[in-house]
Structure 1
Amino acid sequence: MKALYKSAAQPGFELVDRPEPEPGFGEVKIRVLTTGVCGTDLHIQSWDSWAQNTIKAPLIPGHEFYGEVVTTGEGVTNTKVGDRVSGEGHVVCGMCRNCRAGRRQLCIHTVSVGVQRDGAFAEYVVIPETNAWVQNETITPALGAVFDPLGNAVHTALKFPLVGEDVLITGAGPIGLMAAAVVRHVGARYIVITDVSEPRLQLAQSMGVDLSIDVSSTKIHGAQQSMGMAEGFDVGLEMSGHRTALPEMIANMNHGGRIAMLGLPASSIDIDWATVVTHMLTLQGIYGREMYETWYAMSAMLQTNEWLYDAISSVITDQLPAADWEQGFEAARDGAGGKVVLDWTQV
């Protein structure tokens, strides 16, 4: 099979022939149709310090994908050959305290597809049956490929009650844009999103935000005044990981405000802990998706709201043949557009 391959501990990928994987007990083999390009994949490609400390080459990367089940291993009970599926990329142990209590997203032995085990930048991938999410016929291959990042957005957005609340989102990347659409769907009052990319801020307008702010030239506090907000934001979604985003968010939260943090900072962040304490703020880290409540939630929302379906689909701004993967990675790294999807039927 054709696959993107990191053959050694060094920058870059190669599009090469690799042996097809075969499913073991409780696993399914999937013919990959589409994959999304994630920031994690960019780190692995560039072989930065995070990748050097995390990845053991050789490896086939890729963890956002959609495809068709072609073979099932012994012990598979529900998933059938021909099912169209998206993949949950976190493979859990099933035996630690959190797993046994039903909190699988908190498994301390999590192994990630495309990070610690071979992934989906290939014509075939193998995952446990429990990680295969069977999609209905309304989900396009491109949309099916981005259920992983959509799940991140939904997990973050739904962490705190939103109905009637004023919401600040820092970071208008693909996940921040998806979160904005979800927040609007759920019923927030005002939604403000920040970034420094003008194309992404323009795209945010179609996600239902009330105001998009270029924080390189405008302060968030001015947004409150322009919309007549008497108090600060009730809910904050930090999606950027930028060192200035969280301190700015804290400074603009209402007393008792709640912040969900998905963005991973590249360096330490100094924040005003006195404000966190005296304003009684809640800071909640978010990682991945709740397994599998988030999957049920995002599937149900897409099935019942045509506007949300179209808004999430519009975040996919680049679709290319997998043979043009280098162009796709360049588009993802550029940071001006939305989600990049590769078509593995064209490789």
Structure 2
Amino acid sequence: MKALYKSGAQPGFELVDRPEPEPGPGEVKIKVMTTGICGTDLHIQSWDSWAQSTINAPLIPGHEFYGEVVETGDGVHNTKVGDRVSGEGHIVCGMCRNCRAGRRQLCIHTVSVGVQRDGAFAEYVVIPETNAWIQDERITPALGAIFDPLGNAVHTALKFPVTGEDVLITGAGPIGLMAAAVVRHVGARFIVITDVSEPRLELAQSMGVDLPINVARTKIRDAQQSMGMAEGFDIGLEMSGHPTALPEMIANMNHGGRIAMLGLPASSIDIDWATVVTHMLTLQGIYGREMYETWYAMSAMLQSSDWLHDAISSVITDQLPAGDWEKGFEAARNGVGGKVVLDWTQL
């Protein structure tokens, strides 16, 4: 099969022939149709310090995908050949305290598809049946490929109740944009999103955002006043990881405000802990998706709302044949568009 391959501890990928994986007990083999390019994949391609400390090459990367089940291993009971599926990329042990208590997203032995084991930038991938999410016919291959990052957005957006609340989102990348659409769908009052990319801020308006802010030119507090908000934001969703985003968010939260943090900081952040304490703020880290409540939630929302289905689909701004993967990675790296999807039926 054709696959993007990192043959060793160095930058770059190669599109090469690799042996097809075979399903073991409890596993399914999927013919990959589409894959999304994630920031994690960019780190692995560039072989930065994070990748060097995390990845054991050789490796086939890729963890956002959609495809068709073509073979099942022994002990597979609920997934059948021909099912169209997306994949939950976190494979858990099932035996640690959190797994046995039903909190699988907190498993201390998690193995990630495309990070610690071969992934989906290939014509075929193998995952446990428990990680295959069967999709309905309304989910297109492109939309099915981004259920992993959509799950990140839904997990973050729904961590705290947002109905009737004023929400500040820092970072209008693909996950921030999807989170904006989700909190609009569930009934937030005012939604403000920040970034420095004008194309992304323009796209945010179609996500139901009331006010996109270019923070290179406008302060959040000034925008807040322009909307007639007498108090600070009730809910903050920090999606950027930028070192200035969280301190600015904290400074603009209402007393008792709650912040969900998905963005991974690349450096240390100086936080005004006195404000956190005296304003009684809650900071909650978010990683991945709740397994599998987030999957049920996002599937149900997309089934029940044509607007949300179309809004999330519009975050996909680039679709390319997998053979043009280098162009796809360049588009993902430039940070001005939305989600990039590669089509593995075109090589």
- Normalised-by-shorter TM-score class: over 0.9
Aligned equivalents of 1:334 and 1:286: distance in 2? Answer: 25
The Cα of 1:159 is off from its aligned counterpart by 0.2
The corresponding residue for 1:295 is: 295
What is the SS of the residue equivalent to 2:271? coil
The corresponding residue for 1:128 is: 128
Aligned equivalents of 1:227 and 1:150: distance in 2? Answer: 29
The corresponding residue for 2:248 is: 248
What is the SS of the residue equivalent to 2:162? coil
Aligned equivalents of 2:336 and 2:195: distance in 1? Answer: 11
The Cα of 1:223 is off from its aligned counterpart by 1.2
The Cα of 1:173 is off from its aligned counterpart by 0.1
1:191 aligns with 2:191: yes
Aligned equivalents of 1:127 and 1:163: distance in 2? Answer: 36
| Gapped regions of structure 1 (runs ≥ 5) | none
The corresponding residue for 1:91 is: 91
The Cα of 1:285 is off from its aligned counterpart by 0.1
The corresponding residue for 1:81 is: 81
What is the SS of the residue equivalent to 1:15? strand
1:27 aligns with 2:27: yes
What is the SS of the residue equivalent to 2:294? helix
The corresponding residue for 1:202 is: 202
1:14 aligns with 2:26: no
Aligned equivalents of 2:136 and 2:307: distance in 1? Answer: 18
The corresponding residue for 1:212 is: 212
- Post-superposition, which runs of at least 4 consecutive aligned residues in structure 1 deviate over 3 A? none
1:157 aligns with 2:157: yes
The corresponding residue for 2:40 is: 40
Aligned equivalents of 1:323 and 1:163: distance in 2? Answer: 44
- Deviation track 1:108-139 (CA, whole Å, cap 9, x = no partner) reads 00000000000000000000000000000000
1:140 aligns with 2:143: no
The corresponding residue for 2:265 is: 265
Aligned equivalents of 1:52 and 1:104: distance in 2? Answer: 27
The corresponding residue for 1:115 is: 115
The 5-angstrom pairing of residues 277-292 of structure 1 reads 277-292=277-292
* Percentage of pairs with the same residue: 90
The alignment covers a number of residue pairs equal to: 347
1:275 aligns with 2:275: yes
Aligned equivalents of 2:332 and 2:139: distance in 1? Answer: 23
- Deviation track 1:227-270 (CA, whole Å, cap 9, x = no partner) reads 00000000000000000000000000000000000000000000
TM-score by length of structure 2 reads: 1.00
Alpha-carbon RMSD: 0.2
The corresponding residue for 1:232 is: 232
The corresponding residue for 1:305 is: 305
